[in-house]
Amino acid sequence: MGRIAHVAALVFALVIGSAALAADPADIAFWSSVSNSSDPAELRAYLHAFPHGQFVEIAKLKLQELGSATPAAAPAQPVHSTAAPVASIEPTRGTWRAIDRIELDVDASNLGAGSNHRLIVVPANTPDQVGDANAFSRVSIAITPEIFHMTLPPGPPGDDQIRLLYIPQFSNRFVVAARARIRVLPGEPGAIIAEALAREAALSGPLGLESKYQNRRVKLEGQFLQSEARTTFAGWDLAGRYQNPQKYLEIYIGALSTPVTADGLPSDVICLMGIGTGTLARVTALKPGDDVIVTGTPTTWDDYFGPSVIFDACQFAH
């Protein structure tokens, strides 16, 4: 014990001479309670509680004298990694039409510890920071932290990015976990994309849609989905126009891979078109996915049609 006493005296002199004013009362009190102990567990407890304490060297020497050549390491403290978990976004191609939904494979399976996982398509120069979380949630698509294939509405024409954002554990801010670059081609000048009109109708409701577009003729662009020839019956006022028995066409316009809504909201547009010379042949020649540009008047939307936005007095734009 003479070696310990000598070192203890030296360390004590250094502590008193250079750090007395910075002494930690808790450190001193703990050491006082175990300094004369012959139990290695009590000395290791001191090292764990004060790994940088004033009496660490003395405690280690006492452990060696007591037969423990290597004191047990203090339990590791949990460390929250700042490295972003690995996630990926892989579009099936790099260039898309304005009327296309974007197909992509998503791997968000490593983000399960976080929350509020969302996808969005934005111009490539858009800052990563999310300023208004509520507004961002309204315009982005919620996803689950899994591996899956899905489609997204197209972004604005030009160079865009698909971004996967989420809120990591122990945080309250969105961060970008993955991104992929795409290019969206411009659509018909002045035309409304059919899927965008359906989303607008879902937000505004039938009356809001009718109020905005009443007696207003607009241009619409989208993918041809299907068509049906029908005949009205007497007394049926379809969109305020087809009141007497006559033949007409229903042309469904939207995007082929648009998910069907489960809440009764419209996801496509029905173009109501009279059967004129050449019209039936032109519609018959269309294939699903073909680009269709028409003019007409959005009137309302109704569950009778699937549900769909009704586009009345419809004609091919060119």
Q: Kindly list the domain boundaries of the chain, sorted by start residue.
A: 2-65, 88-184, 192-316
Confirm if 43 and 56 have CB atoms less than 8 A apart: no
Q: Which ranges of 140-292 does DSSP label H, i.e. alpha helix?
A: 194-213, 279-284
**CA 92 to chain centroid:** 18
Instruction: In whole angstroms, give the CA distance from residue 175 to residue 186.
Output: 29
CATH fold of 88-184 reads: Immunoglobulin-like (2.60.40)
Instruction: Indicate if the pLDDT at residue 174 is higher than 80.
Output: yes
For residue 151 the two structure tokens come to: 């489609």
Distance CA 66, CA 74 (A): 18
pTM: 0.66
Q: Thinking of the domain 192-316, which architecture would CATH place it in?
A: Beta Barrel (2.40)
What is the side-by-side order of every strand in the sheet holding 175-184? 95-96, 175-184, 158-167, 115-123, 141-142
Percent of the chain with pLDDT over 70: 79
User: Is residue 99 within 8 Å of residue 188, measured between CB atoms?
Assistant: no
pLDDT at residue 15 tops 50 = no
Read off the pLDDT of residues 234-273 as tens digits, 9 standing for 90 and up. 444 554 555 555 788 899 999 999 887 767 788 899 998 8
Reported as a single tens digit per residue, the pLDDT across 44-91 is: 777 777 777 888 888 888 888 877 444 444 444 444 444 556 899 999
Rounded mean pLDDT of the chain? 81
* CB crowding 113-136: b at 16 or more within 10 Å, else e: ebeebbbbbbeeeeeeebeeeeee
Segment 191-203 mean pLDDT:
91
Residues ≥6 apart with Cβ < 8 Å to 295? 217, 218, 219, 220, 314, 315, 317
Is residue 103 over pLDDT 90?
yes
**Amino acid in the structure at residue 203:** L
Residue position matching structure tokens 């990694």: 81
